[in-house]
Structure 1
C-alpha cells in the first residue's frame, strides 16, 4: 500500500487536530467575561474555554482597533483587503465585466 492508496484521514496526519476558528461574537463575549472576572478568576475563564492569555491579548487589540465587530467575518474580511483589491472591486462593479483576477 502506498500513500496514494490511503483515503483522507488515514496516514500519519489523519488524527492531527484541526485549527479552531472563533466567531467575532464569541471573541467579544469571552474578552468581556475575562475583563469582568476578578483577578483570581481570570485563569478559570481561560481554562474552561481552553484558551491562552495571548488569545485574549490579540482579541483585545483587534477589538480596540475596530477589527473585531459583532457584525462578523464580512466586516473583518473587508478590513483586511488592500486598497488595490478595493479599487479592483469598484472597477468591476462599474464596468459590470469580469476582469482578470
Structure 2
C-alpha cells in the first residue's frame, strides 16, 4: 500500500477535464475504480464538473480561480460588459424619448398660451339668464 504525502498532485486544466470525461463515461459500479486509478476524490470530481458546467475554470494552467475575491473570468467579464452596454443603450434611447416628449409638451404649452391670449373672453351666463334669453325672442 502506498502512503500519501498529503500533497494534491498538480493537474492541468486539460488533465482535470480528461479525468472528468473518463469518470462520466464509466458505467455505474466502475466510477470508484476511476477515482482510485487517478487518486481523485468524488468531491473533487463534483467540483470540477460544477466549475466546467458553470464556466468557472479560470485561465490558469490548473483551472483554479484567483485568490482575490470578486475576480471574474474573461468570459463572465465580457458577458457583463455586453449586458451593461445593452442597458446603457436602452437608457440612452429612453432619454431621447423623454427629451422629445418634453419638447413637445413645451410647444403645446406655448400654443395654448397664444390661443388663450388671442381669444376674447366670453362672459359666463347663469342658468336663469340663459332661460330668460330663450324666453324673450325678438319676434315677440
Unaligned runs of 5+ in 2: 72-140
- Structure number with higher relative contact order (C-alpha < 8 Å, ≥ 6 residues apart): 1
Q: How does 1:78-89 map to 2 (within 5 A)?
A: 80=66, 82=70
Count of aligned pairs between the two proteins: 65
Q: 1:36 to 1:19 in 2, by over 3 A?
A: closer
Partners in 1 of 2:22 and 2:31 — Cα distance? 9
Give CA deviations for 1:38-86 in whole Å, capped at 9, x if unaligned.
00110110010111100000000110111237xx516x57x64646xxx
Q: What TM-score results when the alignment is normalised by the length of structure 1?
A: 0.52
Pair member with larger Rg: 2
TM normalised by structure 2 equals 0.39
Write the distance in 2 (CA, Å) between the matches of 1:56 and 1:19: 14
The corresponding residue for 1:73 is 60
Distance (whole Å) between structure 1 residues aligned to residue 34 and residue 48 of structure 2: 15
RMSD: 2.7
Q: CA deviation at 1:17?
A: 4.1
2:7 equivalent in structure 1:
18
1:29 and 2:26 matched:
no
Q: Secondary structure at the match of 1:66?
A: coil
Mapping of 1:33-52 within 5 angstroms?
Answer: 33-52=22-41
Aligned counterparts of 2:57 and 2:41: Cα–Cα separation in 1: 18
Q: Distance in 1 between matches of 2:53 and 2:8?
A: 25
Could you list the structure 1 runs, at least 4 aligned residues long, displaced by more than 3 angstroms after superposition.
Answer: 16-19, 79-83
Q: Which of 45, 49, 60 pairs up with 1:60?
A: 49
- How far apart in 2 are the matches of 1:38 and 1:30? 14
